[in-house]
Amino acid sequence: AQKVTQAQTEISVVEKEDVTLDCVYETRDTTYYLFWYKQPPSGELVFLIRRNSFDEQNEISGRYSWNFQKSTSSFNFTITASQVVDSAVYFCARRDTGRRALTFGSGTRLQVQP
């Protein structure tokens, strides 16, 4: 099976620190989509971003930014000036064109201490 790997199980930072969550994926397809989701303690899954394989431009949305590098099959997520409300489990996921469902990484638990 083609995997999505989030090697960081848990990260703890102090508020206002920057933090990067790593995601490495495997795929044999030339066309695919990558996603990031946030799961706060309440349990719902919040969609953050989708990136397709054609578009390697980095994206910034407020304090969030994403770095997509096809050469290293990575799609890393950076939170700048972290806040306590950023504490959650973050999942990276992949969808291939021939398959409508998502393959998820194991998740990274981020704890932001005040």
* Interface contacts to another protein, rule CB under 8 A: 33, 35, 37, 43-45, 47, 50, 52, 91, 95, 100-107
Measured from the CB atom, the residue of 39 and 80 that comes closer to another protein is 39
Q: How far is the CB of 44 from another protein (least distance, A)?
A: 5
| Chain CA centroid to CA 84, Å | 18
* Dihedral angle computed from the Cα positions of residues 47, 52, 56 and 62, in that order, rounded to the nearest 10 degrees: -20
By beta-carbon proximity to another protein, the closer residue of 35 and 77 is 35
Output the smallest distance, CB 26 to another protein, in A. 15
Phi–psi pair at 109, nearest 5 degrees: -85, 120
Closest contact distance (angstroms) between CB of 104 and another protein is: 5
**Residues in Cβ contact with 42 at an 8 Å cutoff, skipping those fewer than 6 apart:** none
Closest CA to 103 of 27, 9, 44: 27
Residue among 17 and 102 whose Cβ is closer to another protein: 102
